[in-house]
Amino acid sequence: MQTEAADAPGLSYASTLRPKLGACEAMDPHERATSVWYRIGGLINRKQRDLAVSIIEAEIRSAQKQVLLDASDRVTDPAAKRLLHDLARAAIPPPK
């Protein structure tokens, strides 16, 4: 698995754990949790709790979107597929 650190030397240790993923490629749950842990560990130590919580919320929404898209790939009913795609789109709202 290729990581971002191979492309940009000097990145923090946390970013070396975050593999490059395609738009629909899923990350192993343990690797994802480890990546989030290293990304927020320093923030918690520096009393930046709100930012750490925002990162965790974003990871949860991302995982939720991936599950909904995977489910939509498995159904055959077009109405159910459309509903799952709409729910996935709503899981991660567009930037403001």
Locate the domains of the chain by residue range.
Answer: 4-91
Task: Give the lowest-confidence range in 55-59, 69-73, 74-78, 91-95.
Answer: 91-95
What's the pTM?
0.57
- pLDDT tens for each residue of 22-44: 444 667 778 888 888 888 887 77
State the Cα–Cα distance between residues 90 and 61, nearest whole angstrom.
9
* Distance (Å) of CA 6 to CA 3, 30, 38, 66: 6, 21, 18, 26
